[in-house]
Chain A
Amino acid sequence: MSQSYDRGLIEDFGRWQEFSAGMWAWIFHKFTGWVLIGYLFTHVAVLSTATVDGATYTQTLQGLESLLIVRFLEVGLLAVAAFHILNGIRLLFVDLGVGLEAQDKAFYAALIGTAAIAVASIPTFLLGAF
């Protein structure tokens, strides 16, 4: 049987200590979404060097990859994308009404999955950076 909950406005962030798992999932999904769309504009801007010539494109990408900070930012980007994907799958199920009673556990699973993917990717992203 479905129940209604009045948890108050999520935009009232001063109440963060009272937030439930689903509310944190909502906030993290918004945050990672903003990062991803911001990154998409930046990504296309960097790749636009391909419209100049091939050498400029290769030099730009390899120049960026030679910076250690870029390698760490890539791990962060992967973490952001992984969470948005995993929580996005959770949201699709929530919208279909599937597994609603386990939506909080699914959020924790998305967090653990994100952490595992990010940690496991570190050797690949840092390969040749030092």
Chain B
Amino acid sequence: MAEHYSSFEPKGTRWLLQRITAAFLVVVLAYHFLLLHFVNHAADITFAGSQVRMSQVGYFSTMVLFLITAAFHGVNGVYNALVNQGLDGTQKTVVKWLLIVAGTLLVVQGTRVASAMTGLF
């Protein structure tokens, strides 16, 4: 293929998941930026405003799904970039598990934050 250069093993599961999450994130990241910087200015954000948004089931679900896909896409991207740089052997295994733990903690904490923003917990 002309000028093909990728950090991924072509057609692997992580390769495919990276593309699927990318397609979702392109839309939701743009929406997130527009809503919280242009519709509502960041300087005017208050807990009450966040609570109104997070109390809507559709918004809450979208934000949690956004968190999960962004964490996966980011952590998977970092892992593949490091493998591409030559990470191998024991170091590769250690880094893989560190990234899995970090990504999981990020999703757990982010979900706690989103739940706290509903004001119900």
Instruction: Indicate, yes or no, whether A interacts with B.
Output: yes
Interface residues of A (CB under 8 A from B): 2-5, 10-11, 20, 22-23, 26, 30, 33-34, 36-37, 40-41, 44, 47-48, 50-51, 54-55, 57-58, 61-62, 65-66, 74, 78, 81, 85, 88-89, 91-92, 94-95, 97, 100-101, 103, 121, 124-125, 127-129
Could you tell me the distance between the alpha carbons of A65 and B37 in the complex, rounded to whole angstroms? 12
Quick one: given A23-B5, A74-B37, A78-B37, are A54 and B43 in contact (CB under 8 Å)? no
CB neighbours (8 Å) of B4 from chain A are 94
**Looking across the interface, which residue of chain A has its beta carbon closest to that of B99?**
A37
List 20 A–B pairs whose Cβ atoms lie within 8 Å, in order of A's numbering. Answer: A2-B1, A3-B2, A5-B2, A22-B3, A34-B78, A40-B74, A44-B110, A50-B113, A50-B116, A51-B112, A54-B48, A58-B48, A65-B43, A66-B43, A78-B37, A81-B33, A85-B26, A101-B2, A124-B38, A127-B43
Tell me the minimal C-beta distance from B53 to chain A in angstroms.
12
**Interface pair A44/B48, CB less than 8 Å apart:** no
**Interface pair B47/A55, CB less than 8 Å apart:** yes
Q: A26 contacts which of B5, B33, B77 (Cβ < 8 Å)?
A: B5
Number of A-B contacts (CB under 8 A): 113
**Interface pair B2/A37, CB less than 8 Å apart:** no
**Interface pair A54/B51, CB less than 8 Å apart:** yes
**Looking across the interface, which residue of chain B has its beta carbon closest to that of A101?**
B2
**Looking across the interface, which residue of chain B has its beta carbon closest to that of A85?**
B26
Q: B85 contacts which of A4, A11, A36, A37 (Cβ < 8 Å)?
A: A11
CB neighbours (8 Å) of B117 from chain A are 47, 50
Q: B22 contacts which of A48, A51, A66, A88 (Cβ < 8 Å)?
A: A88
Tell me the minimal C-beta distance from B38 to chain A in angstroms.
6
CB neighbours (8 Å) of B41 from chain A are 124, 127-128
Could you tell me the distance between the alpha carbons of A36 and B106 in the complex, rounded to whole angstroms? 14
Q: A37 contacts which of B29, B67, B78 (Cβ < 8 Å)?
A: B78
Q: What 4 A-B pairs have minimum CB-CB distances, sorted nearest first?
A: A37-B74, A54-B47, A65-B43, A51-B116
Q: B113 contacts which of A4, A48, A97, A125 (Cβ < 8 Å)?
A: A48
CB neighbours (8 Å) of B86 from chain A are 11
In this complex, which of B1, B47, B78, B85 has the most chain A Cβ atoms within 10 angstroms of its Cβ?
A: B47
Could you tell me the distance between the alpha carbons of A92 and B25 in the complex, rounded to whole angstroms? 12
